[in-house]
Amino acid sequence: MKEGKKAPQFTLKDQSGKSVSLKDFLGKQVVLYFYPKDDTTGCTKEACNFRDDYSQIKKEKAVILGVSADSEAKHRKFVEKYDLPFILLSDENKVVLNKYGVWQEKNMYGRKYMGIVRSTFIIDKKGNLKKIFPKVNVTGHNKEVLEALRS
């Protein structure tokens, strides 16, 4: 994955079971963020930060798409619980997670396992990768994203 290259295309189901494709958003900027799990501390903070900045993100003619391996039903509960105004996509088969290179071996307390490395991709109006944020630190990330959308 390199900035300036075409973003890999995909179609996934959202929290309502509706198919959503990246190409649906040509002409808008896309904040495509990958996160490990609904309703966990870091993921909730990240989603709520994006929610709180949602009106500013919309002003930049951008949409937010969150992706994890959680089910549509889990996404629906997460959206309802925190009143999230954006789309969450379910990638239970990890096809898109692998396309974007965010499904990786992780290490916690000496235990190795496969999981999602929290990452964000800003995709420009033409479908190209404008900015990549690998291994995101949740604190202040929403402000970094806003800055990237404005540049």
Average pLDDT value over all residues in the chain: 96
Return d(Cα 143, Cα 146) in angstroms, integer: 5
> What residue spans define the domains of the chain?
11-150
Q: 108 pLDDT band (50/70/90 cuts)?
A: confident
Predicted TM-score of the model (pTM): 0.96
Tell the CATH superfamily of the 11-150 domain. Glutaredoxin (3.40.30.10)
* 1 pLDDT above the threshold of 90: no
**Among candidate residues 36, 14, 35, the one with its CA nearest the CA of residue 121:** 35
| Catalytic positions | 43
Residue % of the chain over a pLDDT of 70: 100
Write down the pLDDT at residue 41: 94
